[in-house]
Structure 1
Amino acid sequence: MVLRVRVSLPDRPGVLGQVARAFGVLGADILQVTVLEREAGRAVDDFTVSWPGGFSAEDLRDRLGVVPGVRVDGAWPTREVPGSSPDYDLIGHVATDSDRAFVTLVDAVPDLVGAQWAVAVDSDTGEVVHGSWQAPGLDDMPDLTPLRPSAFSEGSLHLLSMPVRPAGLHLVVARTEGPPFHQVELDKVLRVVEIVALLVAATDRTVA
């Protein structure tokens, strides 16, 4: 299976190598490393690893925790394919078929940030108008009001919420496993939403 593992570690030479060796001892193959932040002598990195199984996320936390100063903030399954460019693919699909731009956005955005599902909510009525394939049914949907443009958590449910003003929608992205969304992830989704909106507006002007 492929996991994303969020690790907080001292930002000094050699520590990243120690973490990489610890993954290797566990039989995990590191596919990708994304630096989320470097501040006050510490770094937060997301490791995407191919995981052979046999260890729980708790086992992983314990075993990586033997590296001095290292803390595992979360480990969760991901559908991302290291080396691929799902954000570019999303934008390409929108450019090709702008009529389905916001449906495409909802369907594709979870894979951009290691989330499980997303929905588009009507900004006026609060009604869910489209959900990605893993989104829960309406009876199981969490209360999404009041919506605010931010990253926040409700218990173990972690959410990104932002307006998609040209469509009169609010985009909500949910992570049901793993840690809360990082500011870098919020910024990434915000930028993608902005680009999708610009592409749709440009297409509308061309048609008009």
Structure 2
Amino acid sequence: MRISLPDRPGGLGQVAKALGTLGADILQVTVLERETGRAVDDFIVSWPGPVSATEVCERLSATPGVRVEGVWPTRDMPGSAPDYDLLMHVATEPARGLATLVDALPGLCGAEWSVAVEDGAVRHASMAAPEVVNLPEPPPRAIALDSADLRLMLLPVVPQGLHVVVARAGGPVFHRAELERAVRIVDVVAKLAARA
């Protein structure tokens, strides 16, 4: 869940209390930004009961100053370090660096699929990628955008002359903190793969 809340003492506690009354177990909280008196946090939660995402949004939105920006499923495992695992795999087998990156990005970014595109042709696709991918023109720099019913990150991979697209169907547009993290990971993998 991505939640915008007042950045003041007790703000996070109010959200935690509201989630607790719904039976949610908070597994992890990531602060994405703190600006102009507000914070934007990603919460990884699990709730075993029959509570719907709509009910969670309504209940949390009733808390003064709290806005739910999105709810979507994730495969993140709190406490794990999948970005380091990815880098270790690429360092071990740099010739497969690009394919390893594309396969790992959905899990790293809370997304459904990713593809590497070169001159309009898909060079590698993650397992859940659709057969046909209609993509916008690749940008000169990394961007996040909302396209129809998908949230996309477009990430240039300059040394290889291609770009990687990461897509999620639910939740909010990728936050700039998510984009910056993905750019760093892509840059490191591209450098490692270029040495192969």
TM-score by length of 2: 0.95
CA distance in 1, matches of 2:171, 2:122: 24
CA distance in 1, matches of 2:112, 2:49: 20
Partner of 2:191: 198
| Within-5 A mapping of 1:6-25 | 6-25=2-21
Partner of 1:145: 136
CA contact (8 A) 2:96 2:193 kept: no
Is 2:123 the partner of 1:129? Answer: yes
Q: What amino acid maps onto 2:20 in structure 1?
A: G
CA distance in 2, matches of 1:46, 1:159: 18
CA displacement at 1:53 relative to structure 2: 4.1
CA displacement at 1:96 relative to structure 2: 0.5
Q: What amino acid maps onto 2:138 in structure 1?
A: L
1:81-125 deviations in Å (ceiling 9; x for gaps): 010011000000000001100000000011112111100001x2x
CA displacement at 1:65 relative to structure 2: 1.4
Q: What amino acid maps onto 2:84 in structure 1?
A: Y
In the alignment, structure 2 segments of 5+ residues that lack a partner are none
Partner of 2:172: 179
Partner of 1:71: 67
Partner of 2:160: 167
SS at match of 1:193: helix
Q: What amino acid maps onto 1:182 in structure 2?
A: H
CA distance in 2, matches of 1:147, 1:56: 37
Partner of 2:81: 85
In the alignment, structure 1 segments of 5+ residues that lack a partner are none
Identity %: 59
SS at match of 2:72: strand
Which deviates more from structure 2 when the two are superposed, residues 89-98 or residues 148-157?
148-157
TM-score by length of 1: 0.90
Paired residue total: 194
What is the RMSD computed on CA atoms of the aligned residues? Answer: 1.1
CA displacement at 1:54 relative to structure 2: 1.1
CA displacement at 1:28 relative to structure 2: 0.6
CA contact (8 A) 2:98 2:193 kept: no
Q: What amino acid maps onto 2:35 in structure 1?
A: E
